[in-house]
Amino acid sequence: MFDLGISKMVMIGVVALIVIGPERLPRVARTVGALLGKAQRYVNEVKREVNQAMELDELRKVKTSVEEAARDLEHSVRTHASDFQKEVETLSKDLQDVPSWEEGSMQQDEAASAAPEDGLEDASKRAFVTAVAPVSAPAARKNWRARRQAVPQWYKARQQVRRSLRSSAARRHAGAAGQPSGGKSFHSAHRP
């Protein structure tokens, strides 16, 4: 704020001591300190307001630039979308002009039946092509555990592998109710 060095402050203190006197100097020093504190706070507040105004101005500039970029992007997306729509329309028109697959295959079958058999090789090729149909891949199992299963189901059925465990109490209850127990239990196998 002011360009005051140590020597200047000492000089001001000595003059104030001589002019004001030792009994009023502490009160005057407190008053001067309070006034300097208020002045510093006022200057800091003005600086803060100026910085806020500058930041708001920068934010407004950034906002306008972002809005302009968004408008440009929207315009370019619309132009590309309209170009894409035009391409799709032309392709759909071209696709409608092309004969369908069934019509093309019927025309090929008619041409093949009308053409004379040139040789054994051509006839065998035609027979092979007509006999082979596109084979679709078997549907993949969706259950992860079923895909990871190591033992095939036919082997389990032949070896009578149990799929779920039952406690001895559940086996006794099933046996008492007249239901098959799903295999011999340890106790029933070792009874006399």
Q: 107-121: per-residue pLDDT in tens?
A: 666 655 655 554 445
Q: 24-76: per-residue pLDDT in tens?
A: 888 988 998 999 999 999 999 999 999 999 999 999 999 999 999 999 999 99
Amino acid 137: pLDDT: 52
Q: 10-33: per-residue pLDDT in tens?
A: 888 888 888 888 888 889 889 989
- Classify the C-alpha dihedral 21-25-26-28 as positive or negative: positive
Amino acid 13: pLDDT: 84
Average the pLDDT over 132-150 and give the result. 59
H-assigned helices in 98-119:
101-114
Look up the pTM and report it.
0.33
Q: Domain-by-domain residue ranges, the chain?
A: 6-97
| Core vs surface per residue 80-100: b (16+ CB within 10 A) or e | eeeeeeeeeeeeeeeeeeeee
